[in-house]
Amino acid sequence: MDAYFLTSPDARRLLLFNGPVKLNLDLRKTNRTWMIDRDGNEFVFPDGTRISKEVIEKIARDDKSVYFIKNGGVYKAAITGKGFYKLVPTIPPTIEINGIRMHRTKEVNPLQDTRNKVNTVKPKEGETVLDTCMGLGYTAIEASKRGAYVITIEKDPNVIELARINPWSRELFTGGKIQIILGDAFEVVRKFNDESFDVVIHDPPRFSLAGQLYSEEFYRELFRVLKPGGRLFHYVGNPGRKYRRKDLQKGVMERLRKAGFVGVKRVEEALGVVARKPSIIREQSP
């Protein structure tokens, strides 16, 4: 394995015993376990890396981070750039940017959240899917597992780097049915040919961070690149709805209709909106 992963509960288990301990070391991506030996105040991992008890105690105290062991060193799965990026030890992990989590983690886990979104448009074998905002790539991976070819866009190199670290994102980088484009979706989508995609899954950052991705101008571009009859899912969430009675979904739905979409409706379990591009055959029917 390229790296061994540890979270706070894993570290606490290591500290409970003086002898060998079996642990899952890939963030529950599989059911596999590895043996970690104890040698005095050091823990010996399967590749021979020795980690001091002091370091394991530090990990045990940090229940909000993911750590990994690679090439003899211990690292936090976090990046400091223009902001602070880190993996959060949900199962599977989500990504947190400046304290904002990129997946729902309260009502559902990130994997079920992803499946709820993908299920709204049901990608099929042989279809081409546009995933506008990659993140950790769970949407792209789920769509590709259903037989679709996926083009996914990510603006932030730091996010791509965390995806490379995360074992749950591994399928993004193993070739096959997923192509990653580094760039701003607002600009990248303009470069696609008309009617290139069967499905668009649009899961942008919150409106305050990426307002242009909620604009009628952008929706018209999504409409253009969809094939006739193509399906769209747009994650919106419900920010402000509970306390300020603000309905962001309503505005999104109105702009989608202005851009030409039909069948626009809410999907509560996915906290988003579905729509489709009219079929030419249906439009010509009497």
Q: pTM of the prediction?
A: 0.92
Between the alpha carbon of residue 59 and those of residues 8, 74, 112, 153, the distances in Å are: 5, 10, 27, 33
> For the sheet containing 42-44, what is the strand order?
21-23, 34-39, 42-44, 50-52
**Three-state DSSP state, 94:** strand
% helix, strand, coil for the chain, step of 5? 35, 30, 40
Q: What integer pLDDT is reported at residue 245 of this predicted model?
A: 56
CB count within 10 Å of CB 91 equals: 14
Which pLDDT tens digits describe the chain residue by residue (286 residues)?
789 999 999 999 999 998 999 999 999 999 999 999 999 999 999 999 999 999 999 999 999 999 999 999 999 999 998 899 999 999 999 999 998 888 888 778 999 999 999 999 999 999 999 999 999 999 999 999 999 999 999 999 999 999 999 999 999 999 789 999 999 999 999 999 999 999 999 999 988 888 999 999 999 999 999 999 999 999 998 754 544 457 889 999 999 999 999 999 999 999 999 999 999 744 433 3
- For the chain, domains (ranges, CATH) are 4-76 (no CATH), 110-284 (3.40.50.150)
Q: What is the CA radius of gyration of the chain?
A: 22
Quote the CA–CA distance of 139 and 43 in Å, as a whole number: 37
CA distance linking residue 212 with residue 206, whole number of Å: 11
Q: Where are the beta strands (DSSP E) in 19-148?
A: 21-23, 34-39, 42-44, 50-52, 67-70, 73-76, 78-80, 84-88, 94-97, 100-101, 128-131
Cα 248 to Cα 241: distance, rounded to the nearest angstrom:
8
The predicted pLDDT at position 239 comes to 54
Q: Are 111 and 138 in contact (CB under 8 A)?
A: yes
Q: How far is Cα 139 from Cα 66, in angstroms, rounded to an integer?
A: 21
Q: What is the largest CA-CA distance in the chain?
A: 82
Question: At CA 88, angle to CA 82 and CA 89, rounded to 5?
Answer: 160
